[in-house]
Structure 1
Amino acid sequence: MASGWANDDAVQEQIDSSIEDAVQRARNQLPRGESRACCEECDTPIPLARRQAIQGVRLCIACQVEQDKQQGAAAGYNRRGSKDSQLR
């Protein structure tokens, strides 16, 4: 339920905008181009099956897992902020 100067659809618009941002961010992270034979980070060979499965792959599985962990820590952005921060 919106209140104050916001219209009734303000909350839904905020949710939709957050989802659109997340989808765009995920699309931007998709690999493009030709797959590499060796990992960019550690220079280990990337298996042929992985190169065929993921077009434009640049990292071996171990380096990809590490990169995903680092990006996961930055994920979860909440436009509205926590309830506690709104009460202060």
Structure 2
Amino acid sequence: MLKLEYKKLHKVTSGETVEKIAKTYRLPVRAIVKENDLKSEVWSGQVLILPSPQGDLYTVQAGDSKALLCGSKENYEKKNGKILYPTLKVWL
């Protein structure tokens, strides 16, 4: 699990995608999309705000549920949206 300490900025370079940026910073793709209100792909030169601390980052395992991870379905969906599947990185 990863504990985030502060917000960062990231300037997109040629060939980068949200998925690549998320992997670099070990963040959920959804967190970057939500923080920047992204509606389409990113472009070279765009500056993204990386998410602020929201707790621990966790990789979903088979058998995990929203309630198990965050105490309730509502808490999970507030932090992570409705999607849940193994290997997804989510905030606890």
**If the TM-score is normalised by the length of the shorter chain, which range does it land in?**
under 0.3
User: Which structure is richer in relative contact order (CA contacts within 8 A, separation 6 or more)?
Assistant: 2
Higher radius of gyration, 1 or 2: 1
The structure with more strand, counted as a fraction of residues: 2
Q: TM-score, normalised by structure 2?
A: 0.21
The structure with more helix, counted as a fraction of residues: 1
